[in-house]
Amino acid sequence: MGGPTILVSLHSFTPVMGGFVRPWRMGVLHRHDSTFSSRVLALLQRELDEAAGDNEPYRMDETDNTVPLHADPRGLDYLELEVRQDLIAEAPGQDEVADILARILTEAVYA
C-alpha cells in the first residue's frame, strides 16, 4: 500500500519569544498551495482544539531552504511542521507528539 512521496520537515520553536507567549502547540508552514499541508493543518486544528498555527509561529519565505531546494524542484508536496519545545522536552511529551503525528500524517496521506 504505497502512497505518494511527500517531503516532511520537522522543527521546534520556543514557547515564548520577545515576551510574547506563543499560543500554538504546533504550526504548519507553507508558501504556496500544498494539498498535504492543508490536510495536516485541518487535522491538527481539530486534534488540538484550534491550537495549530497556519503559517505560525513563522512564515515560510525566501530564507527557507528545505522546500525550495528539495521539494519544489522535484514537484513534491510537502509539510513543514513546527512543534513547541515544551511539549517535547521530556519523553512522555515526545511520545504523545509522535502518536499524534503518526496518526495525522497517515490520515492526511490517504485522505
> Secondary structure of 43-96 in the HEC alphabet?
HHHHHCCCCEEECCCCCCCCCCCHHHHHHHHHCCEEEEEEEEHHHHCCHHHHHH
| Residue 21 located in a structural domain | yes
Q: Is residue 17 part of a domain?
A: yes
48: domain range?
Answer: 9-83
Could you tell me if residue 68 is inside a domain?
Answer: yes
The count of domains in the chain is 1
pTM for the complete prediction? 0.91
Q: Which three cell numbers stand for residue 63?
A: 530564507
Q: What percent of the chain has pLDDT over 70?
A: 99
Query: Is the pLDDT assigned to residue 1 strictly greater than 70?
Result: no
The shares of helix, strand and coil residues in the chain, as percent rounded to the nearest 5, are 40, 25, 35
Q: What is the pLDDT of residues 8-39, one digit of tens each?
A: 999 999 999 999 999 999 999 998 778 999 99
Q: Is residue 67 part of a domain?
A: yes
pLDDT band at 94 (very low <50, low <70, confident <90, very high): very high
